[in-house]
Amino acid sequence: MLQRFDGHIVGLGTTSGTRIVVGMWEHSPLGAFADAMVEDAGGHRTLLAPTDEVADFVASTYTFDEIQVHPVHRAGWSFRAGPLTATWVPGGRAPVGRLLRAVPTVVSEAEAWARLCDPIARRVMPGVRTHGSAGQGRTEWYAARDAWHVDSLEASWEGRDLGPLAPLAPAVRFGFGSAPRRPTLTRLSSFVRLP
């Protein structure tokens, strides 16, 4: 069975060493929702999910040390759930965004295209993958359609300021790939094939 999630992902680094990946899904088998995956400077990985159903699906696709379910408040480019508050400002379109916009949708959504692009993405944007194993026999691929750089970030964890925007480094370790090193907002579809 193939499941499709349409929306945006933003990958954010901070000077404190905490890295944040927020998924904002307008259409999915679980309805519209937003969630966050957070890895602190020590490597502790936390999932913040809005419901048990979302937490169960995401945790069966990615790897975490801790899972928390909280009400999620999202407005524009702002996310708040449990210990995390984050507001980011997208900037100009990334050069890769111009390339992604030129690929026809029927091509970009094909698993074969994601496989073809995977080694290129890994070379051009270290840590980024477009196709891979999502655990428990699942296969996942991304069909990115546009991308923007992120210009600024205000974020806190349990009320502690995480510092200004920084490269997302080292790469996060939630799944088979990471977000780009340069903080980036990406419009995409994520496909997960269940065994």
Q: pLDDT tens across 38-60, in order?
A: 999 999 999 999 999 999 999 99
Range of the domain at 94: 2-193
Smallest CA-to-CA distance from 172 within 15, 56, 12 is with 12
Q: Is the pLDDT of residue 94 over 90?
A: yes
Neighbouring residues of 177: CB distance < 8 A, sequence distance ≥ 6: 127, 128, 129, 130, 132
Whole-number Å distance between alpha carbons of 24 and 139? 21
Q: pTM (2 decimals)?
A: 0.96
Residue 31 CB coordination number (10 Å)? 12
The mean per-residue pLDDT over the stretch 179-193 comes to: 96
Q: Is the pLDDT of residue 134 over 90?
A: no
Number of domains in the chain: 1
Q: Is the pLDDT of residue 135 over 80?
A: no
Q: Is the pLDDT of residue 80 over 90?
A: yes
The mean per-residue pLDDT over the stretch 76-93 comes to: 97
Smallest CA-to-CA distance from 116 within 104, 126, 108 is with 108
Q: Is the pLDDT of residue 136 over 90?
A: no
